[in-house]
Amino acid sequence: MIAIGSDHGGFELKTHIMEYLKNQGLELFDFGTYSEDSCDYPDIAEKVANAVADGECEKGILICGTGIGISIAANKVKGIRAALCGDVYSAKMTRKHNDANILCMGGRVTGRELAFMICDTFLSEEFEGGRHQNRIDKIHKLED
């Protein structure tokens, strides 16, 4: 199960991504927002981040206007490694090296077709482990 959420700035892109991923047979849980009415991105980030941190969902996708606010907010939740990606290389490397568990994108920045490729990459690449695990352990020590 993939958790997905956006604020109003990411709502349109979220709608297209949901359709794209559902057509691939992926199961999504939509944590909102459900319209283009203005809302606060930390509220959505909190819901998606908690679902991933609790293991309810294996990965998450979060979208706001730039992707910045929603990634900052998601990274405040213990156990979350949210990565803002605007290109396929970053999406690949953040899985391989950072074991990112939430993908963030900017609905007002990243075009639809590129966003689809970024999602495909993020959802298919695996963490390399090894020396990178030690670095992730150090990231999470910062939460103590």
Binding site for ligand RB5 (CB under 6 A): 7, 9, 41, 64-66, 68-69
Which CB, 5 or 99, lies closer to ligand RB5?
Answer: 5
Q: Which one-letter amino acid corresponds to residue 120?
A: D
Q: Is 64 a catalytic residue?
A: yes
Question: Which of 64, 85, 104, 119 is the catalytic position?
Answer: 64
Q: In one letter, which amino acid is 112?
A: R
Is-contact 114 102, C-beta < 8 A? no
Burial of 144: CB neighbours in 10 Å, binned 0-12, 13-18, 19+: exposed
Q: Is 104 a catalytic residue?
A: no
Cα–Cα distance between 5 and 19 in angstroms, integer? 14
Minimum separation from the CB atom of position 43 to ligand RB5 (A): 12
**Least distance (Å) from ligand RB5 to the CB of residue 57?**
22
Residue number, 114 or 136, with CB nearest to ligand RB5:
114
Nearer to ligand RB5, 7 or 99 (CB): 7
Cα(134)–Cα(25) distance, integer angstroms:
34
Which DSSP string do the residues of 127-138 spell out, in sequence order? ---THHHHHHHH
Q: How far is the CB of 140 from ligand RB5 (least distance, A)?
A: 24
As annotated, the active-site residues are 64, 97
